[in-house]
């Protein structure tokens, strides 16, 4: 949950989403410090809200966000 909140701080406003996302990420074997995170596919995040999916996927894959320098 801490990792998710670091990436999307507004998840604090919706604790249920954050907790659910964390549980689902664990269920698929995801851990932010594991080398296997490079295997993450967008479809793996189907349990998330669409914009959260995209943002998390871009963070994990290292794709830059258009508004970040």
Residue 67 inside a domain? The answer is no
Exposure string over 3-21, b if 16+ CB within 10 A, otherwise e? ebeeebeebeeeeebbeeb
Instruction: Kindly tell me the burial class for residue 48, based on how many C-beta atoms sit within 10 Å of its own C-beta (0-12, 13-18, 19 or more).
Output: buried
Domain count, the chain: 1
Which DSSP state fits 34?
S
Residue 69 inside a domain? The answer is no
What pTM was estimated for this model as a whole? 0.83
Question: What distances in angstroms separate CA 24 from CA 21, 27, 34, 63, one per listed residue?
Answer: 5, 5, 16, 22
What pLDDT, on a 0 to 100 scale, did the predictor assign at position 67? 63
Query: Domain range holding 17?
Result: 2-61
pLDDT band at 52 (very low <50, low <70, confident <90, very high): very high
Residue 66 inside a domain? The answer is no
pLDDT digits (tens, 9 = 90+) for 5-51: 999 999 988 779 999 999 999 999 999 888 888 899 999 999 999 99
């Amino acid at each position: 949950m801490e990792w998710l909140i670091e990436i999307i701080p507004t998840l604090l406003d919706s604790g249920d989403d954050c907790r659910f996302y964390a549980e689902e990420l664990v269920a698929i074997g995801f851990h932010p410090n594991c080398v296997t995170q490079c295997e993450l596919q967008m479809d793996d995040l189907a349990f998330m809200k669409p914009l959260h999916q995209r943002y998390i996927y871009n963070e994990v894959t290292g794709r830059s966000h258009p508004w970040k320098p």
